[in-house]
Amino acid sequence: ERATQSQQTHRFSTLIISIMTHIHKNLRVLDGNDQIKGLLTIIRNQDTSRADFIFYSDRLLRLVIEEALGTLPFDKIQVTTPTGSVYNGVKFSSKVCGVSIVRAGESMENALRASCRDIRIGKILIQRDEETGLPQLFYSKLPQDISSRHVLLLDPMLATGGSVMKAIEVLKTAGVDTSRIIFVNLIAAPEGIEIMAKEYPEVKIVTAEVDEKLNEKRYIIPGIGDFGDRYFGTTD
């Protein structure tokens, strides 16, 4: 029975990914192998300790960061190996920076720094207006030359898409071409992917897994809880 449920879950997940990648042509989801599934299982478990949550989240974050870096443009280059042979390789053809959506997005900065030495990282703070419910910009600090860079926009969760779209507006105002933005996250809801496909189809999305839906409270289901609270230890 458990094997049957697992097979059904796998088929459902594969179906969702197929539908979402059809809706959003620039969506990339990590290969759903057992290692990825195992890491996601640990961080989704409500009984996982904070230490384990951080450790296994960091492993997953490194994987999605590396996947996102693979979407950047490369130039061909030849190098000579210690054997005197010529190797036909590639190198980054564009400068890159990171921008984290405070607070949860800051959890992804270490994974980015581990992958890109001396990378510049900006910050955007967005909070919901209590009266209108709309996302409001409270603070932004971006690299001065951000308009000439590809931007890895960092936030572990994509729910309604309100915060990330507000962050994209901030980047656009700073002169960033939206086709040079890569939104990197761990878990995405179909509703968030759909609104991104409608408003910013040229923005790439790289995620570890696509979940089932948002509930009536706009929480991602099955979800992971409040990622920032669990990562930074601010749960009750």
Tell me whether residue 236 is one of the annotated catalytic residues. Answer: no
- The verdict on whether omega for the bond into residue 143 sits within 30 degrees of 0, i.e. cis, is no
Determine if residue 235 is left, alpha or beta; phi over 0 gives left, psi from -120 to 50 gives alpha, anything else beta: beta
Tell me whether residue 226 is one of the annotated catalytic residues. Answer: yes
3-state SS track over 183-200: EECCEECHHHHHHHHHHC
**Which residue, among 175, 214, 172, has the nearest Cα to 192 in the 3D structure?**
214
Using CA of residue 178, residue 180, residue 184, residue 190, what is the dihedral sign? Answer: positive
Q: Determine which one of 4, 31, 132, 236 is catalytic.
A: 132
Tell me whether residue 58 is one of the annotated catalytic residues. Answer: no
Q: Determine which one of 128, 145, 177, 234 is catalytic.
A: 128
Q: For 123, how many CA atoms within 13 A lie in the half-sphere containing its CB? A: 11
Using CA of residue 52, residue 54, residue 57, residue 62, what is the dihedral sign? Answer: negative
Tell me whether residue 128 is one of the annotated catalytic residues. Answer: yes
Amino acid at 117: R
Cβ atoms of residues 76 and 97 within 8 Å: no
Give the residue numbers marked as catalytic: 128, 132, 226, 229
